[in-house]
Structure 1
Amino acid sequence: MKGKDIAILATLVVLTVALVLWVGVGFNFGEQPVRPLVENMKLGLDIEGGVIATYEVVTEDTGDTLKLLMQQTRDVLRNRIDEMGLTEPNVYIQGEKRIVIELPGVENAEQAIDVIGSTAQLSFCEVTPGNMVQMGDSYDESKMTVVLTGSEVADAGVTKNDQTKDINELNQYLVSLKFTADGTKKFGEATQRIVNRGGGQIAIVLDNNVISAPRVDEAILGGGAVIRGNFTHESARNLALLIRGGALPAELKQLEYNAIGPTLGRDALNSSIMAAIAGFILVVLFMVGYYRLPGLVASFTLVLYTSIILALMVALKATLTLPGIAGFVLSIGMAVDANVIIFERLKEEMRDNKLVIKAVNHGFSKALKTILDANITTLIAAVVLFQFGSGPIRGFAITLMLGIVTSMFTAILITRLILSVLARTKLLANKKLFGV
């Protein structure tokens, strides 16, 4: 074996070992520990646990108007989730009128979904003279006139009422509001009208229910206001985030709600990993037992292949789901299938009494078209699944696509490179080592 060939094999082995350590084990770089790359893997809701809810938008709109409404609704839901500080949410449109929300790893899932899915139509109404409303009343247009809406609120937060002289209201939680320039003008004009006629009420209405109805005795021109309502800190925070996130442009009807515990998800993940490891070992035993030296090379490239796939998923921030694991295992089978096609062609060439090095080159050349046809066909199917699927189906499609591309790289390039180097070695250029 020439020095160049030794360098090629040594480089491949070192790089593969380093990649395996980096991806799955971790190592120490000086005094600095490098944690395994797989710890940064995004886990899907079916593994990490969480909640998935499906809503239908209640509307009679169709065509482009419906499409715009669905996009606006999705964006408002995303804003609300962001305001709640929930990590790795997934909000997507399914079909024509459905929206799916996936929240992995969330605590108090039911409460989160209730807050996210509420319509949150906020309005400030001037109570007409001679009428009086109180908290809990329903909106009545004969008694109230809308002055401004939640869209004219620039910000909302939670404060404590620590400056009141009323002992019953001391330290109660309030929702503080800051209006936009237009909202400030409208609110100031409304409160000035109320003062000019001797005082009255401003009703704050949320989803057609009065949540606060303070008396106005002086004009409020500073561009801000507060909402009182016997709030707990949590209820005040939820109302503030709904106001900041914006009102939904249409009512949502909940169709489905599923909560998945993290224990169940982890058990499924562990079972899937054990099945994948068992399958991998069986594949290695078959390949080495039947194809011998090429089978050993194929097993080595499968280790490299697995490490590359996991590294790519972390780098691309792809989410690992249980169907995704199935796609990963399927792509391993396709990688093995590519090697089987190559090795069978290689054996045919050797049976024609060709030299090992020529048999390797001819075998790969003859197998290339079959491998490309099979993989490209499957790749097209995976792209279609990714484009038109949702949730777990897309997870399956992503790992399948990555697996197909990586398997072609390892089977066609790496396996060929290693076998070509070994075939130039007199000691290993023995047809019996190739199963012939």
Structure 2
Amino acid sequence: MLQYSTWKYVVAALVIALSLLYSLPNIYPQDPAVQIAANRGGVVDDALVLRVRGLLDGAKLPAKQVAIEDGSLLIRTGSADVQTKVADTLRADLGREYTVALSLASTVPDWLLSIGARPMSMGLDLQGGVHFMLEVDKQAAIEKRTNAFAEEITSVLRTGKFAYTSVSRATDGIQVVIKDPQDMAAIRAAITREAPELELSVAGNDPTRLIARVTEAQVKAIMDAAIEQNRTTLDNRINSLGVGEQVIQRQGETRIVVQLPGVQDTAQARNLIGATATLEYRHVIDYGMEAVEAARTGVIPANAKLYYSRDLGADGKRRPILLARRFIVSGDQLVSATSNPDPQGGGPAVQIELNNAGGNRMLAHTRDNVGKLMAAVYIESIPEVRMVDGKEVLTSRVEEEVINAATLQGVFGKNFQTTGLDSQDEAANLARLLRAGSLAAPMVIVEERIIGPSLGAENVERGLTAVFWSFAFVLVFFLVYYKMFGIVTNLALLLNLLMVVAVMSVIGATLTLPGLAGIALTVGMSVDANVLINERIREELRDGNTPLASIANGYEKASGTITDANTTALLAGLAMAVFGSGPIRGFGITLIIGILTSLYTAVSVSRGIATLIYGKRKKLAKISI
């Protein structure tokens, strides 16, 4: 009567083996490390390795390893104190050509990584990191959208060939001054068609002045859209820059919370949040003597703006170039950007796709300017921390340079490519930042907290201690109270914990303090399931059934009750994982994984173990329970 199929034993053996294998990376600790990445002008190569080793030897700072890994230079250290000293020493010497940041380096063997076995990710409360509260500039978001509305109104007037004097910003909205009052009705209808969000009214008794206002409902919609775009942009940017397990969520009407586990360098975290890169395409006014003279004298034509090209002149200096003040299209109108070698020259290039509005503007410009020059301007905004009156002040440094000035060979619109980049890595970096998008409105840091790795280590130690002692108490209780079946139960509980760790490692779940609490809770729920089975077996024995029949009936009759009880808890965990965020979501994910594994270990695996012990005995007088 007590049977367990061979295929179930095979499945259980595979589950145990895979659980052991994919849990193994969690026993390898991470090394405190310093990561060096090249900015524009910097190169990560063997010369940099020798230079860094010389600096460390000069400062008498020991390093476990200095090597190039995944395109960056990684210096592994033996402690957090040495890590900080190494970062300070290198940052002072390497300057702006390189970004020096604190990190944690994996020590998991390559053979484990090759099969996808990785350690569990740890959250901010365990691993340490930074927490930012960002305030979105409401006025700037509204002003940016209002300027876009003004552009749309101007486009409507030009497309409809309406005679007008000006379209300008005013205190009460966007002021449109037309020449013929008889066009007012047609203009209002055209603007309403293109921008129905605007509230239109004639100013006073002047039939030639139209005021377009942004309604309160539209202001709320603008802020909602700005915060969502900023949140998405931050998420894309941080993902693309290699910081995982981040928490980026809205809080209140104008704020965004950003948590970056594992990032210990505040300045580096600010760079991750605030650094932006974009392109602008502008018409070239002059790339010769007029530009050189403007750079020498400082006298620039009213319709032009002075830039400097990446190309060097005969004197070895960057060449000046005069571009139109008004850009043709910018990164805000970009749909996608990919980096591929130029099909013709083979050099680095970025393929650009614009939205309809940007494509129409580019089409109109190229149609009228075939044979003339158009320039691509690379703009990078880099946050910097400066000391002002003894206090840290966050500012930004904007770098602009012309990376390409080419003759328009034909007419094109939405799709084209930009060349003139230094390397394929720079092309990939530009495409990545362009895809991440731009912020809809500026943000300021209103709150900043740093959780050091020592606090995280203390949290990990306490959490693991709590889980360990909860397990130890349960194991001892079962050994004393259920005897042989206590051993069966303990083996099932240990396998349950092993499976939870393995599954969380495989799916890339983030372990937090609430997650540790969830693991402790699943231990309790798994205990409940085993208690139900063991007590059911005792009840069958008291009713006079044989030991083998009691074991079989105990598992079969208790399985339904266990499944029903765990299903309700599973639904609660699912709701927390889907609708919750932060700690609630982490708790829900851990709870779901623990419930599913405990169902398998308590009902199936423990029965297999009991069958191995008692199943081959045809005559069994009693069992130890």
Decide whether aligned partners of structure 1 residues 300 and 87 sit closer, same or farther in structure 2, where only a CA change above 3 A counts: same
Counterpart pick for 1:104 among 245, 248, 261 = 261
Q: 1:245 to 1:430 in 2, by over 3 A?
A: same
Alignment check: 8 A CA contact 2:246 2:259 kept: yes
Measured after TM superposition, the shift of residue 247 of structure 1 is: 1.9
Matches of 1:9 and 1:213 in 2, distance apart?
Answer: 66
Hey, what's the Cα distance between the residues in 2 that align with 1:112 and 1:206? 15
Retained in 2: the 8 A contact 1:188–1:220? no
Compare 345-354 and 100-109 and name the one that shifted more.
Answer: 100-109
**Unpaired segments ≥5 residues, structure 2:** 28-108, 142-216, 286-299, 308-323, 340-348, 383-395, 409-416, 421-428
Worse-superposed segment, 294-303 or 387-396:
387-396
Q: Distance in 1 between matches of 2:467 and 2:337?
A: 51
Matches within 5 A, 1:197-276: 221=407, 245-276=436-467
User: 1:105, CA displacement in angstroms?
Assistant: 2.1
Deviation of 1:394 (Å): 1.6
Matched, 1:75 2:232: yes
Label 1:430 to 1:100 Cα distance change in 2 as closer, same or farther (>3 A).
farther
Q: Which amino acid aligns with 1:106?
A: V
Q: In structure 2, what is the equivalent of residue 412 of structure 1?
A: 603
Distance 1:68 1:6, change over 3 A: closer
**Any gaps of 5 or more consecutive residues in structure 1?**
136-142, 158-175, 195-201, 227-237
What is residue 482 of structure 2 aligned with on the other side?
291
Matches of 2:518 and 2:218 in 1, distance apart? 38
Residue among 573, 581, 585 paired with 1:390: 581
Between Structure 1 and Structure 2, the one with more helix by share is 1
Q: Conserved in 2, the CA contact under 8 Å of 1:328 and 1:400?
A: yes
Indicate the SS of the match to 2:131.
Answer: strand
Residue 42 (1) aligns with residue 42 (2): no
Q: CA deviation at 1:345?
A: 1.8
Structure (1/2) with the larger strand percentage = 2
Q: 1:39 to 1:290 in 2, by over 3 A?
A: same
Q: Secondary structure at the match of 2:440?
A: coil
Separation (CA, whole Å) in 2 of partners of 1:332 and 1:155: 49
Identify the residue that residue 172 of structure 1 maps to in structure 2: none
Rate the CA distance shift 1:76–1:39 in 2: closer, same or farther, 3 A.
closer
Partner of 2:249: 93
- 1:346 paired with 2:537, answer yes
Match of 1:170 in 2: none
> 2:21 aligns to what?
22
Distance 1:243 1:405, change over 3 A: closer
Please give the alpha-carbon distance, in whole angstroms, between the structure 2 residues aligned to 1:330 and 1:344: 21
Q: Aligned residue for 2:520?
A: 329
Structure 1 residue 360 and structure 2 residue 545: aligned?
Answer: no
TM value normalised by structure 2:
0.49
CA shift, 1:378, in A, is: 1.2
Q: Does 1:311 align with 2:492?
A: no
CA distance in 2, matches of 1:123, 1:20: 52
Tell me: CA distance 1:350–1:124, structure 2 relative to 1, closer, same or farther (3 Å). same
User: How far off is 1:245 after superposition?
Assistant: 4.0
Which amino acid letter does the alignment assign opposite residue 81 of structure 1? Answer: I
Secondary structure (helix, strand or coil) at the match of 2:469 reads helix
Q: Distance in 2 between matches of 1:431 and 1:339?
A: 20
1:398–1:213: structure 2 CA closer, same or farther, 3 Å change rule? closer
Which one-letter code corresponds to 2:122 in the other structure? L
1:249-307 deviations in Å (ceiling 9; x for gaps):
22334354332222321232133223322221221110111011211101111122122
Task: Give the corresponding residue for 1:149.
Answer: 330
Give the drift of 1:333.
1.1
Distance 1:214 1:184, change over 3 A: farther
Separation (CA, whole Å) in 2 of partners of 1:12 and 1:210: 59
- How far the C-alpha of 1:424 sits from its partner, in A, is 3.7
Partner SS state of residue 40, structure 1: coil
Q: Please report how far the alpha carbon of residue 241 of structure 1 lies from its aligned counterpart in structure 2 after TM superposition.
A: 7.8
CA contact 2:129–2:451 (8 Å) conserved in 1 = yes
Q: Distance in 2 between matches of 1:225 and 1:22?
A: 47
What amino acid is aligned across from residue 400 of structure 1 in structure 2? L
Change (3 A) 1:148 1:305: same
Summarize deviations over 1:10-45 as a string: whole Å, max 9, x none. 868966764564245589xxxx99659875322223
Find the aligned partners of 2:556 and 2:587 in 1 and give their Cα distance: 31
- Aligned residue identity for 1:149: S
* TM-score, structure 1 normalization: 0.68
Tell me how far 1:369 sits from its aligned partner.
Answer: 3.7
Task: Between 124-133 and 34-43, report the one with greater CA deviation.
Answer: 124-133
Aligned CA RMSD, in angstroms, stands at 5.0
Report if aligned partners of 1:74, 1:91 keep a CA contact under 8 Å in 2: no
Query: 2:123, 2:245 within 8 Å by CA — same for their partners in 1?
Result: no
Which residue of the partner structure matches residue 54 of structure 1?
133
Match of 2:472 among 281, 287, 295: 281
- Partner residue, 2:594: 403
**With CA pairs under 8 Å and 6+ residues apart, which has the higher RCO, 1 or 2?**
1
**How far apart are 1:185 and its partner, in Å?**
8.4
CA distance in 1, matches of 2:227, 2:502: 35
The one-letter code sitting in structure 1 at the alignment partner of 2:599 is M
Partner amino acid for 1:373?
Answer: D
Q: Which residue of 1 aligns with 2:491?
A: 300
**8 A contact 2:118–2:505 mirrored in 1:** no
Give distance in 1, aligned partners of 2:527 and 2:407: 74
Deviations 1:86-132 (A, max 9, x none): 33153543356554333222353334325524687887899995599
Give the one of 538, 546, 568 matched to 1:377. 568
User: CA 1:255–1:312 in 2, change beyond 3 Å: closer, same or farther?
Assistant: same
